[in-house]
Amino acid sequence: MSRLLAAFSTTLLACACALPGPALAAKKTYFRVGSAVDATATTTAGTVLMGGSTDVDAAFQWLCDRAAGGDFLVVRAAGTDAYNPYVQELCPGLNSVATLIIGSAKAANVPSVRATIADAEVVWIAGGDQSNYITGWTGTPVQQALNEHIAAGKPIGGTSAGLAVLTQFVYSALGSQGITSSEALADPYNKYNTFARDFVYLAHTQGAIGDTHFSARDRMGRTLGFLGRIHANGWSAQPRAIAVSEETAVLIDARGNGKVVGTHNAYFIEAPGAPEVCSPGLPLTYRNVAVRRVGAGESFNVADWRGNAGTTYTVTAEAGVLSSSQAGGSVY
């Protein structure tokens, strides 16, 4: 988050406090700027899927507009409150901006955590390591509160690891900071290719898995590996992926219209059905996977998986080697 301010000064309230609960201060910390009294606002539903690296101002402003002057909450498993001054400066009309650091399953089970999430008009899931979210928050009041937030029609978003847990299928990254494309293509059952599902329910990301830092970290191959495994697991007959580049976000409204903002592209990827080869110890063969590359300012509807903008092509994994129907063979 290179745009985030290293420190902040404000004439408004600034507090850093551990929420109630014995021996939890090191694991669960709450920082807030702005009003100490929660607002009540009528929100507009929407989802931001951000690809990591430098944050996209326009995406946060879009979320703030949907908060209607309410309270903006950042949740994360580790890190700092650096989002607080950044969001407050972008969105001075908010009632408050707060960061809740929930560093363990024990902390996630404190009742006041659920109440804090429930009071927010916007929730933002920060980047980091999605394995911490899956192992620390699954089956806790945090997971329940996030789903209640979504069901109430309140906006939500996430970047990098935060994006990863907002799709139905999740690359959980257990035991690894991130499987590479070469590893996933060589063996989709590599021990680092781990998955979870249904952490949250968002109607427009059902049937899909997310990926981030997409072109910068050359992740097309691993995304095809994800799709192969999702099909092999019996989770979807025609799995999809929403893959977002760095410094880029997709803004999805209540009807599923997704607008791309930022610097680079988002990729909407759909498998044609079963992979030709997806077995333990064997390189992946998955032919003619459909890709639509959508640039900043262009849109794609994730509800009906249609769009008129962008560029369409196919990508094939043949015995672990990628190729593309694009002139020049680029998979991006």
- Radius of gyration in angstroms for the set of CA atoms belonging to the chain, rounded to a whole number: 20
Same domain, 103 and 198: no
Same domain, 253 and 269: yes
Residue 295 three-state SS: strand
Domain boundaries, position 274: 174-332
| pLDDT band for position 177 (cuts 50, 70, 90) | confident
29 inside domain: yes
331 inside domain: yes
- CATH classification of the domain holding 68: 3.40.50
Domain closes at, from 142, 166, 190: 166
303 inside domain: yes
CB contact at 8 A, 287 and 316: yes
152 — phi, psi (to 5°)?
-80, 0
Residue 23, pLDDT score? 33
293 inside domain: yes
Q: Is the pLDDT of residue 136 over 50?
A: yes
CB contact at 8 A, 296 and 264: yes
Q: Is the pLDDT of residue 55 over 80?
A: yes
The model's pLDDT over 236-276, given as tens digits with 9 standing for 90+, comes to: 999 999 999 999 999 999 999 999 999 999 999 999 999 99
Same domain, 235 and 297: yes
Same domain, 187 and 38: no
Q: Is the pLDDT of residue 224 over 50?
A: yes
238 inside domain: yes
Residue 174, pLDDT score? 95
Domain closes at, from 166, 198, 225: 166
Same domain, 93 and 203: no
274 inside domain: yes
| Cα–Cα dist 99/208, whole Å | 28
Same domain, 202 and 230: yes
| pLDDT band for position 19 (cuts 50, 70, 90) | very low
Go through the chain and tell me how many residues it has: 332
Alpha carbon of 153 to those of 54, 149, 224, 237, 327: distances in Å?
A: 27, 7, 32, 29, 43
| Cα–Cα dist 173/161, whole Å | 10
1 inside domain: no
Same domain, 71 and 104: yes
Same domain, 193 and 296: yes
Residue 28, pLDDT score? 56
Same domain, 248 and 153: no
Query: Model-level pTM?
Result: 0.91
The model's pLDDT over 242-251, given as tens digits with 9 standing for 90+, comes to: 999 999 999 9
Same domain, 186 and 250: yes
14 inside domain: yes
Same domain, 24 and 143: yes
Per the structure, how many domains does the chain have? 2
Amino acid symbol at 118: A
Same domain, 178 and 316: yes
Among 37, 255, 76, 62, residue whose Cα is nearest residue 155: 62
The model's pLDDT over 72-115, given as tens digits with 9 standing for 90+, comes to: 999 999 999 999 999 999 999 999 999 999 999 999 999 899 99
Domain closes at, from 140, 166, 192: 166
Greatest Cα pair distance in the chain: 61
Residue 2, pLDDT score? 35
DSSP for 280-325, please give it: TTS--BEEEEEEEEEETT-EEETTTTB-SSSEEEEEEEETTEEEES
Q: Is the pLDDT of residue 16 over 70?
A: no
Residue 176, pLDDT score? 77
